[in-house]
Amino acid sequence: MSPAVAETARLTAPVYHGNINATLTPNAAVKAEQLHRSANLSYKVAGTRYYPLRKVADFSQEGRASWYGPKFHGRKTSSGERYDMNMMTAAHPTLPIPSYAKVTNLANGKEVVVRINDRGPFHGNRAIDVSRAAAQKLGFINAGTARVRIEQIVPGQTQQAQAARGNIYVDLQRFNNLKDAQTYLTQTSRHLQQGSGEQKAIMVKQKDGYVVRMGPFQQQDRANSMKEAVLTAL
């Protein structure tokens, strides 16, 4: 399917009004990846030529986000991978494939981390097309679009910046099964809500399974001691 044909189908896809528990959908786990050999070459759609970035570097953009869902579930993306509307992925005209970006809904402050693995949207007033799960987590699945900020995440550099700000997370448990990870995430979140701290539990997808983490902390010693307390309590 050509990009132009795919985009036409994407924009005419039916609006999805179903209900998924996107709060339990993990953000994309940022890691350094080799860029795709052909997905980052220049290309032309509807008379406009696009020049994808060939390096993962600092990038920030504000624009309108849309989302695509059931009609494209299981189809191949520009990276050659199958599109999974329940994962945190997105399509962008020029960001490197694969790479990672933080998307923030400017209307409500909600944010997600997505993996860029597709091209689009080729529509004049849209900057990014996110998965159904990302749209629901960002709070605009029924509205269809939202004004967002897109920030490229540079692996390694991001972790160093978080450590400098005291934004430390610790791993609690690893799971091979998504359902088990979601159950533990719910239990941990309830436990943390009973305390007076500002820490929260999150889940991230990794190649070999799922990891439930806790944070943020300002100091590593405090993170380690609270991790021990939580593991003992649960």
Question: Which residue do the tokens 């978080």 mark?
Answer: 162
pLDDT tens digits, residue range 68-105? 988 888 889 999 999 998 889 999 999 999 999 999 99
Report whether pLDDT(132) > 90. Answer: yes
CA atoms within 13 A on the CB side of 134: 32
Q: How many CB atoms lie within 10 A of CB 220?
A: 12
Tokens representing 232?
Answer: 């003992």
Residue among 72, 144, 151, 145 nearest 104 (CA): 151
State the virtual CA torsion across 114, 148, 186, 221 in degrees, nearest 10.
Answer: 80
Report whether pLDDT(212) > 90. Answer: no
- pLDDT score of 15: 39
Query: Which amino acid, 191?
Result: H
Question: Which residue do the tokens 């494939």 mark?
Answer: 97
Please provide the average confidence, as pLDDT, over all residues in the chain. Answer: 82
pLDDT tens digits, residue range 143-171? 999 999 999 998 877 555 555 555 677 88
- Round to the nearest angstrom and report the end-to-end CA distance of the chain: 50
For the chain, which domains are there? 3-155 (2.40.40.10), 166-233 (3.30.70)
Spatial distance between the Cα atoms of 65 and 127, rounded to a whole number of angstroms: 6
